[in-house]
Amino acid sequence: MEKNLSSGSLVRHIVKDVQAEADIPAGYGKTESFLLPKDPAWLFLFWEITAGTLDYIKSQYGAETLRQARTVIRLHDITGVKLFDGNNSVCYYDMPVIFEAKSWYINAPQSGREYVADLGYLTADGRFILVSRSNATSLPPGKISDIIDDKWMIVEGDFQKLLKLSGADYIGLGASERMQIVGQRWKLTELTPSGAPSSWSSFALHLDKVQEDEDIWLKADCEIIIYGSASKNAIVTINGKEIELKEGKFSIRQHLPAGSVVDLPIHARNAKGDKTRHINIKALREQGK
């Protein structure tokens, strides 16, 4: 008998095998839950709760107790908690859930915090019966970082190393030219995409300009940082604008235009307003010709 080897029959046979291999089991026979960050405002929780786990809880607390209880997700804020034991979270939030859903999106009350999610029963008398506890996960802050970089200079030892690497000692350049070359050579430590101009080519172009350009020019800009501290309950304003205290400390940056005087009055007062403190800072930037 001649076998049918048409392409249609072969395709149907292959597709059937692939579908059979791609079947995903409905469960893995283990009670567990996992908490994942979605974005700064949302978390995603998915879980599996076995019948054996529910039967055990029913035997411990009674079917009537569970029938009158609500199934909830208890979201714990554990930011800064070194060892979470279920009772030492910063705070927690309860939200109703259906165990059969097996997954749930959670609107986080605050971004930039660390959370753990408990699945359980909330009884009529206020007791919480734990069924499954998730892993801990952190949400991104969703805002510009509050950290201010206080590193403003290269220490002398690092400067001398960069200067030797630049080769400035061998080409007889002045101090200002050396600083510009150090800046160019510093970029050699950065990765550049394939085909992009390297920092070494920029360095070579700079040398050509130093040798050929007879004109001289200089550009600079400036900003100042105002920082300090006050009592934690104080209300602090700078130039009439209230600023936020973080553990009693504050810091702001202020642009200092050329040829201008910046007047920054700093005031602090208590909540009643009957006690005040004042500091006035003035800065002058002179522009040469």
- Cβ count within 10 A of residue 53: 14
Smallest CA-to-CA distance from 137 within 163, 113, 168 is with 113
Instruction: Answer yes or no: are the C-beta atoms of 185 and 201 closer than 8 Å.
Output: no
If pLDDT is split at 50, 70 and 90, which confidence band does 54 have? very high
CA distance 162 to 276: 50
- Over its C-alpha atoms, the chain yields an Rg (Å, rounded) of 33
Task: Pick the closest to residue 256 from 219, 281, 283 (CA basis).
Answer: 283
The string over 80-107, giving b where at least 16 C-beta atoms fall within 10 Å of a residue's C-beta and e elsewhere, is: eeeeeeeeebeebbeeebeeeeeebebe
| Per-residue pLDDT tens over the stretch 263-274 | 788 888 888 888
pLDDT 10s digits, 96-125: 999 999 999 999 999 999 999 999 999 999
pLDDT per position as a tens digit, 126-144: 999 999 999 999 999 887 7
Q: Strand pairing of 261-269 and 235-238?
A: antiparallel
Question: How many C-beta atoms surround the C-beta of residue 3 within 10 A?
Answer: 6
Rounded Cα gap, residues 234 and 34, in angstroms: 43
Set out the domains of the chain in order of their start, with CATH numbers: 32-138 (2.60.40.10), 156-212 (no CATH), 223-284 (2.60.40.3110)
Chain centre distance of CA 29: 36
pLDDT score for 88: 93
pLDDT at 10: 41
Q: Which neighbouring-strand residues pair with 226?
A: 252
Q: Distance (Å, rounded) from C-alpha 118 to C-alpha 87? A: 12
In Å, how far from its chain's centre is CA 286? 39
Q: How far lies 83's CA from each of 29, 37, 47, in Å?
A: 28, 21, 23
Structure tokens at 76: 């714990």
CB 271 within 8 A of CB 235: yes
Q: The pTM is what?
A: 0.46
Question: Across residues 258-262, what is the average pLDDT?
Answer: 71
For 144-195, write each residue's pLDDT tens digit: 766 665 555 666 667 667 666 666 555 555 555 555 555 555 554 444 444 4
For residue 211, give the 3-state DSSP assignment: helix
